[in-house]
Each structure stands twice: as structure tokens, then as C-alpha cells.
């Protein structure tokens, strides 16, 4: 059984490991480099095919609300950090003007 045929029988985790190893071998010189270069597209195509067949995950309203609240909190924190930086910059400019 060739590696291309074995790809179809492997579970997802094994397939991901094989892809990672093939990518590593692609980057190193040697006879395995060509084999790895030929396998990577086959592996990635099989992984993409499997991913496309998986059902779409449904996200609950509670999860969406939680994510929105976290995003709002992060935006508020970012705005506060930016305002603090601007205040420090203004204070530094005022000190320079007073000293100069």
C-alpha cells in the first residue's frame, strides 16, 4: 500500500502528524525531500476534504453575548490605555516646555 493510499485510511490526528513531519522533511535536504514534497498536497487536500464534511458548529446566543462582552471590555481597556499614553505624552511635553 502506497503512502497516498494510506492517507485515506489514517485518522485525523495521524494525518496532521504526517503532514507536520512531511513539511519538516520538505525543508531538509535528502532523498525524502522529494517524497515529502509530493505528499504534502495530498495530505492537505485530504484534511480539507474531511474538514468540509464536518458539521458546522452552532454557537449559542449566550456564547455570542459573552464574546461580545469580552470584546467590549477589551475595547474599553484599549481606549483607557491609549488615553493614559496620550496623557503621559502631554505631561512630558508640558514638562519640556516648562523646562525649556
Alpha-carbon span 19 to 27, nearest angstrom:
13
Q: What is the pTM of this model?
A: 0.54
Query: Are residue 32 and residue 11 in the same domain, yes or no?
Result: yes
Dihedral, CA atoms, 11, 14, 18, 20, nearest 10 degrees? Answer: 120
Grid coordinates given for 38: 509530493
Residue 75 pLDDT class (50, 70, 90 cuts): very high
Query: Are residue 26 and residue 61 in the same domain, yes or no?
Result: no
Closest CA to 4 of 50, 49, 46, 51: 46
% of the chain exceeding 90 in pLDDT? 73
Domain count, the chain: 2
Query: Are residue 96 and residue 84 in the same domain, yes or no?
Result: yes
Alpha-carbon span 54 to 40, nearest angstrom:
21
Query: Are residue 66 and residue 37 in the same domain, yes or no?
Result: no
Cell 484599549 found at: 78
pLDDT for position 66: 94
Residue 71 pLDDT class (50, 70, 90 cuts): very high
Amino acid at each position: 500500500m502506497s503512502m497516498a493510499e494510506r492517507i485515506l485510511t489514517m485518522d485525523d490526528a495521524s494525518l496532521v502528524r504526517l503532514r507536520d513531519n512531511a513539511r519538516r522533511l520538505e525543508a531538509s535536504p535528502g532523498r525524502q525531500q522529494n517524497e515529502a514534497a509530493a505528499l504534502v498536497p495530498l495530505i492537505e487536500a485530504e484534511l480539507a476534504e474531511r474538514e468540509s464534511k464536518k458539521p458546522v458548529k452552532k454557537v449559542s446566543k449566550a456564547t455570542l453575548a459573552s464574546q461580545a462582552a469580552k470584546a467590549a471590555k477589551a475595547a474599553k481597556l484599549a481606549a483607557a490605555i491609549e488615553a493614559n499614553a496620550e496623557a503621559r505624552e502631554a505631561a512630558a511635553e508640558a514638562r519640556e516646555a516648562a523646562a525649556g
